[in-house]
A = this chain, B = another copy of it.
Amino acid sequence: MSGTGEQGRADAPQGDAAPRRTRSGGPATIYDVADLAGVNPSTVSRALGKPGRVSAKTEARIRAAAAELDFRMNPMARALPTGRTNTLGLVVADITNPMVFGVVRGAEQAASQAGFTLVIAESQESGEAEATAIERILPGVDGIVLATTRLASDRISRLAAHKPVVLINRAVDGVPSVLPDVDTGVGDLVAHLDEHGHRTVAFLAGPTASWMSERRWAALLDAAEARGIAIVEIGPNPPTIDGGRAAYRRLRASHATAAIAYNDLMAIGVMQEAAAHGVDVPGELSVAGFDDIFGSELIVPALTTVRAQLVLAGERAVGQLLAMVGANGHDLPDDLLATTLVVRGSTGPAASA
């Protein structure tokens, strides 16, 4: 006999069809199946692993036995010899940020479709917490998707040297990533504002550690300069509704006629604060955001925003990862994800100064 393994709560009646005659009372193993089928355990392993490695007759017998015993392979036991866990990790900064929903859904779908399990960890917008979370899930996964990382580039590189890593909305040398075509959306947005007579706009930046905030700002700067529009950066700010509200005063002080927030959450905060101050949007102030999250078209006026393909991003990221761990055959497009300007009610003609 061995050590522990007291997982056999074989009290409750089995209910359906699971006659259970396993050695230890616990879940059936390939040994039990092998006994029942009259073959060697290794044959069971082969039959249930890759098809065709065993004769049709025996395979049928084995499958029947497995079904009768309600056998399911123990993933931990399988992971030990192979080193592959069939599990992927997804790390996000804030799981209640609607922006991540799409990513999570896309990732979960792609993963489960490939027979992989997805473990998710939240970093609460803190680099340290993120490092800890990664540390914790790392040994149990075959690869990791970092969706909104606040980690320094060198830490990411170091991580990527050990395990397959795919980044979303973040570029680090030598590490594969899924990125949106920021320039197009931003170009359209700035053109839209320009056409409506805005000559001075403000960008409400996100957190310092947000690569994407940098990137959006850079694109904005290019586009604004090209059109001779004055632009200022206000921030950094927390990428939340409250972050947007808190930045409102500085925004107004800048006398910008249009505000572009790092994300929709912040844009919503700005709009709420404007409403609280009796400032009409878009009459006295135009507001735009990024991502097009759930809620952006609910608010009044509905938010003009640069839509990102979040579900696709999640899908592609795990697709990449699966390819890196050698788990699929798909060809992965590596082009940037298209970005679209969605014009709604929160932007309009510049207030006459």
Q: Which residues of A line the B interface, CB within 8 A?
A: 2-7, 9, 11-16, 26-27, 72-77, 79-83, 85, 87, 95-96, 98, 101-102, 104-105, 108-109, 112, 115, 117-122, 133, 135-140, 154, 157-158, 161-162, 268, 294-295, 298-300
Beyond A85-B76, A122-B105, A162-B9, whether A112 also contacts B95 by CB under 8 A is no
Contacts A96-B294, A117-B136, A120-B120 aside, 8 further interface pairs with beta carbons under 8 A come to A14-B161, A16-B158, A26-B83, A72-B139, A77-B80, A101-B101, A117-B140, A119-B120
Determine which of B3, B9, B101 lies in contact with A96 in the assembled complex, contact meaning CB atoms within 8 Å: B101
Q: How far apart are A41's CB and chain B's nearest CB, in angstroms?
A: 15
Q: How far apart are A29's CB and chain B's nearest CB, in angstroms?
A: 11
Chain B residues whose C-beta falls within 8 Å of the C-beta of A299 in the assembled complex: 298-300
Interchain CB contact under 8 A, A75 and B9: no
> Which 3 pairs from chain A and chain B are nearest by CB?
A12-B161, A300-B300, A76-B79
Q: How far is the CA of A140 from the CA of B116 in the complex (A)?
A: 12
Q: How far is the CA of A138 from the CA of B162 in the complex (A)?
A: 28
Interface centre among A79, A80, A98, A298 (most CB of B within 10 A): A298
A157 to B, closest residue via Cβ:
B15
Q: How far apart are A105's CB and chain B's nearest CB, in angstroms?
A: 5
Determine which of B2, B13, B75, B82 lies in contact with A4 in the assembled complex, contact meaning CB atoms within 8 Å: B82
Q: How far is the CA of A16 from the CA of B108 in the complex (A)?
A: 33
Q: How far is the CA of A139 from the CA of B85 in the complex (A)?
A: 12
Determine which of B12, B75, B154, B298 lies in contact with A140 in the assembled complex, contact meaning CB atoms within 8 Å: B75
Determine which of B72, B101, B115, B136 lies in contact with A95 in the assembled complex, contact meaning CB atoms within 8 Å: B101
Interchain CB contact under 8 A, B72 and A135: yes
A7 to B, closest residue via Cβ:
B83
Determine which of B4, B108, B115, B139 lies in contact with A120 in the assembled complex, contact meaning CB atoms within 8 Å: B108
Q: How far is the CA of A294 from the CA of B122 in the complex (A)?
A: 19
Q: How far is the CA of A212 from the CA of B75 in the complex (A)?
A: 34
Chain B residues whose C-beta falls within 8 Å of the C-beta of A137 in the assembled complex: 117
Q: How far apart are A312's CB and chain B's nearest CB, in angstroms?
A: 14
Interchain CB contact under 8 A, B95 and A138: no
Beyond A117-B136, A295-B294, whether A81 also contacts B4 by CB under 8 A is yes
Interchain CB contact under 8 A, B112 and A133: yes
Chain B residues whose C-beta falls within 8 Å of the C-beta of A154 in the assembled complex: 15
Interchain CB contact under 8 A, A109 and B138: no
Q: How far apart are A85's CB and chain B's nearest CB, in angstroms?
A: 6
A81 to B, closest residue via Cβ:
B3
Interchain CB contact under 8 A, B115 and A118: no
